Structure 1
Amino acid sequence: MRCLYCYNPEIVLGKGAIAFSETISFLKTRQGLLDAVVFSGGECLMHKNIVQQIQEIKAMGFFVKIDTNGSNPKVLEQLINENLIDYVALDFKATKDTFQKITKSELFQPFEKSFEILLDNSIQFEIRTTYHSDLISNIEMNEMVSYLDAKKYTGNYYVQSFKNNVATLGNLNSSIRIKETEFSSASNFNVIFRN
């Protein structure tokens, strides 16, 4: 994906890297001090060695959380089936109608499959959306709440405001803050606004 509001453009564009061996060396000094490791991105489930890396970190006694856009449901399902992850944050980028505009990808179907996998399993997870007023309308935000409600989602739905004045993939105008009063309430889950 190439979401215009992505605040990790250097990662998405393949610039900069830390060797996994350096990460392991660091984590060895933090055993007993840290509880968990978060795999994020870009998209962490694209990494060719992600399963082996998570296995190694789990073997060190850490809990593992992944932040994912849902584009790789097969890997997500494998990680769940092998009990390698403890928590998932799934990005809900947009409705099917505007998904391509925001993500520059045709990956709504894999996102939806990942969501269904999470719904069908007992792993704890959350759904979250980054809101930029130029990209997602209030009408669409309400459609997204309705979509989650229709899927019988029961966790927390975090709507986080885009942070203005940060480096992103796109040349975006400043976003106007979300007005919570303009959104539908959900019957099955909590909508939590992070401004």
Structure 2
Amino acid sequence: MVKKPIYSITPFTLLDYPNHTACILWFAGCNMRCGYCYNPEIVNGKGKVGFDEVLVFLRKRKNLLDGVVFSGGECTMHRDLPWYASEVKRLGMKVKIDTNGSRPHVLENLIDEGLVDYVALDFKALPEDFESITKSDLFVPFKESLEVLMGLNVPFEVRTTVHSELINAEKVLKMAAYLHELGYKGKYFLQHFVGDKETIRKLPPSKKPKTETTAYAGLEMVWRN
């Protein structure tokens, strides 16, 4: 068991788990290196907080928090994630997973075991841009994760961080079309990059692309900022 999987804890958020009060556990390490990533210290760093410390923290906040967000980094890389999730559920709290979709089998097992209540899946890019943006060859696992989520009964969302230097308006619309072709129905959340923190790669300022509303039945594009 990794003794200290957590880089840090955000003790309270109203923004990261829809309609719930929550805290965020930032898991150390990631298998992607997206240039616009806001968390280089988490991606490249090591854990500082053990899960025993997390449980002490959560027990003190049982009446304040509805849920716990497992984020990072990439939380599904951690072998003991099912145990972590089960301990949170034992406290009567919900579990939200933020993931890049690179470990579909982990995601599927967590859902099958009833250990996840909500998933936020990051759609980094289309196949032709995926490697240049993420510095990984993990598009196929991402697609498998999307298909897993569409086939199972767990609430989830798909979201994309948009930096105009990497993903322009045309590519955003192509990404929406890709989701539609796969049969995704729901909201497709777009998050415009805001360059107020250190990132993995030094990038120029981003201009929010102007995108038209898609005409796909059952799929709605929504800017979060």
Counterpart selection for 1:48 from 79, 83, 99? 79
Calculate the TM-score normalised by the size of structure 2: 0.83
Counterpart selection for 2:216 from 182, 186, 190? 186
Structure 1: gaps (5+ residues): none
Q: Report the more deviating stretch, 31-40 or 14-23.
A: 14-23
Q: Does 1:99 align with 2:130?
A: yes
How far 1:178 sits from its partner (Å)?
Answer: 2.5
Secondary structure of the corresponding residue to residue 180 of structure 1 = coil
**Distance in 1 separating the partners of 2:102 and 2:41:** 20
The one-letter amino acid paired with 2:170 is I
Q: Does 1:153 align with 2:189?
A: no
Q: Does 1:116 align with 2:151?
A: no
Conservation of the 8 A alpha-carbon contact between 1:185 and 1:191: no
Conservation of the 8 A alpha-carbon contact between 1:180 and 1:193: no
Aligned length: 194
The residue number in structure 2 matching 1:144 is: 175
Secondary structure of the corresponding residue to residue 147 of structure 1 = helix
Q: Does 1:163 align with 2:188?
A: no
How far 1:86 sits from its partner (Å)?
Answer: 0.3
The one-letter amino acid paired with 1:37 is V
**Distance in 1 separating the partners of 2:101 and 2:90:** 25
How far 1:194 sits from its partner (Å)?
Answer: 1.7
More strand by percentage: 2
How far 1:14 sits from its partner (Å)?
Answer: 1.8
Q: Does 1:77 align with 2:108?
A: yes
Higher relative contact order (CA 8 A, sep 6+): 1
How far 1:15 sits from its partner (Å)?
Answer: 4.0
The residue number in structure 1 matching 2:52 is: 21
Conservation of the 8 A alpha-carbon contact between 1:152 and 1:188: no
**Distance in 2 separating the partners of 1:127 and 1:67:** 10
Conservation of the 8 A alpha-carbon contact between 1:37 and 1:62: yes
How far 1:165 sits from its partner (Å)?
Answer: 2.4
Q: Report the more deviating stretch, 38-47 or 171-180.
A: 171-180
How far 1:185 sits from its partner (Å)?
Answer: 3.6
Identity of aligned residues (%): 49
Structure 2: gaps (5+ residues): 1-31
Conservation of the 8 A alpha-carbon contact between 2:169 and 2:211: no
The one-letter amino acid paired with 1:20 is F
How far 1:74 sits from its partner (Å)?
Answer: 0.7
Q: Deviations over 1:102-146 (max 9, x none)?
A: 000000000000000000011000000000000112221111010
Secondary structure of the corresponding residue to residue 203 of structure 2 = coil
The one-letter amino acid paired with 1:190 is E
**Distance in 2 separating the partners of 1:170 and 1:19:** 29
Secondary structure of the corresponding residue to residue 117 of structure 1 = helix
How far 1:152 sits from its partner (Å)?
Answer: 1.6
Root mean square deviation of aligned Cα: 1.2
Calculate the TM-score normalised by the size of structure 1: 0.96
